[in-house]
Amino acid sequence: MSSLPLTRRSIFAQAWPIMLGQASVPLVGFVDTAVIGRTGNAAELAGVALGATVINLIFWSFGFLRMGITGMTAQAAGARDDDEVRAMLVRGLAAGLALGLVLFAAQLLLIPAAFAVLAGSPEINAPATEFVEARFLGAPAALGFYALIGWLFGLGRSRAALALQVVMNVANIALDVLFVWHFDMGARGVGYGTACAEWIALATGLAIAAQVLGRPGMIAMKGRIRGFFAAAAMRRMFAVNADIMIRTVALLILFTWFANAGARLGAAPLAANHVLMQLVSFAAFVLDGFAFTAESRVGMAIGAASRAQFLKAIRLTGEFSLGAGMVFTFAIALAGTPYVAFMTQDPQVRAAAGALIPYVAILPLLGVVPWLLDGIFIGATQGRALRNAALASTALYIGTDLMLRPFGAHGVWLAMLAAYVYRAGALGWHFPALLRRVERGEVAQHPVGP
């Protein structure tokens, strides 16, 4: 499993399938909403929305399985340590399935606790609970999928990852329609559809992984599985992933605070923020294509103990990230008002959203730096720096939001822009130390292979 060439052509070839796959993620949410919205009542639609928030908070807290596995797999690939590449797949899948089973077993405690925090009316909580209970059936598959797709990203197998995402998204859409429209299962049917799609995606992913490993790789794994779980390797994996988990939870708190800040201002500002955040989410998902590519290329450079490749990987992915960020900024500035007019007919929401478009337009350009730095530090498996930067930027953001409350919706968005500056600054502060460690060869987990 050799490293990939480090050229602009190869960077783009690796990034575009990720961008396409990421762009398809919001489509599934749109279909979920449309399916239940056209057949259920308002309470069921609100219940799916609330339930999705609960699932995202719980499941994505384990997103470290995707990020940590990507960095460590890339480093092993860069060091040409095929045995460790295979070990990372087995370790990641084992951890994901085990943690998913724990989540499934703990749902009797987690679900009531989540709805106690995100309190809704009994009319909304009932379908939301049905949706969440159904989604928990897919918890082991969802977390196993995180590890599997992280492994593919680490190897630079972005087309295989795209195929896997397409399978999951198509299955999700088809099963949602089947369970809701044909079997009239409402919010629970949407949850069942997604849970089944996660198991289908996991099974498909295992077949793809077997193809990537090839027959020689599968044979080489026989009799060595126990060695893949050596104490030192497991300690390192969980140490890196524990820090990334704290980082992820801190950022989830940041975005939950932002949502609550909009809700505090009333219905029209909250609806305006929801409409505008679709633009932000789409830009972030697409630009993540270059951040994920940076994870892989930086990890491979570190595995190969090459400072030159490390810096070149950053420069090439940075060029693409900056260019894409500028495109999104200009596109939102030009098309933001027509987009708002298309998304809502409410004059109050239109007015509130229209006044905030300049903030939304600049956000992708500001986000380029922290998103790319995230990719660099994930590829370098620098969990402690990621954790500290996320904690610091979240604390600073909350303080800034509190200070800017007199400015209403403008203050809410100014604080969000500041949060991206804080993340960039905090990770940038750690970068010189990372570069020194790369120069001394202290980051790589493996010696350079033959």
Q: Which stretch of 90-104, 314-328, 335-349, 433-447 has the lowest confidence by average pLDDT?
A: 433-447
pLDDT at 429: 96
Query: Whose CA is closest to 84, among 214, 210, 277, 233?
Result: 233
Asked if pLDDT for residue 446 goes beyond 70, the answer is: no
Mean pLDDT of 96-105: 95
Spatial distance between the Cα atoms of 244 and 432, rounded to a whole number of angstroms: 20
pLDDT at 449: 37
- Kindly report the three-state secondary structure assignment for every residue of 78-114: HCCCHHHHHHHHHHHHHHHHHHHHHHHHCHHHHHHHH
User: Please, which pLDDT band fits residue 221 given cuts at 50, 70 and 90?
Assistant: confident
pLDDT at 390: 96
AA identity, residue 248: T
pTM of the prediction? Answer: 0.83
Angle subtended at Cα 69 by Cα 220 and Cα 192, rounded to the nearest 5 degrees: 100
AA identity, residue 102: V
Mean pLDDT of 71-92: 90
243-255: b (≥16 Cβ within 10 Å) or e: bbbbbbbbbbbbb
Helices (H), 178-265: 186-221, 225-228, 231-264
Tens-digit pLDDT profile for residues 128-163: 899 999 999 999 999 999 999 999 999 999 999 999
Mean pLDDT of 219-227: 69
Asked if pLDDT for residue 118 goes beyond 90, the answer is: no
pLDDT at 447: 39
Asked if pLDDT for residue 123 goes beyond 90, the answer is: no
Asked if pLDDT for residue 39 goes beyond 70, the answer is: no
- Residue 386: burial class (beta carbons within 10 Å; 0-12, 13-18, 19+): buried
Cβ count within 10 A of residue 39: 16
Asked if pLDDT for residue 229 goes beyond 80, the answer is: no
User: Please, which pLDDT band fits residue 38 given cuts at 50, 70 and 90?
Assistant: low
Contact between residue 184 and residue 36 where contact means Cβ atoms under 8 Å apart:
no
Spatial distance between the Cα atoms of 194 and 381, rounded to a whole number of angstroms: 31
Asked if pLDDT for residue 312 goes beyond 70, the answer is: yes
Tens-digit pLDDT profile for residues 250-303: 998 898 788 778 777 876 787 788 778 878 888 888 888 899 999 999 999 998
Query: Whose CA is closest to 41, among 118, 134, 124?
Result: 124
Q: What is the mean pLDDT of the chain?
A: 86
pLDDT at 60: 83
Q: What's the token pair of residue 226?
A: 């126990």
Asked if pLDDT for residue 448 goes beyond 50, the answer is: no
Mean pLDDT of 421-447: 85
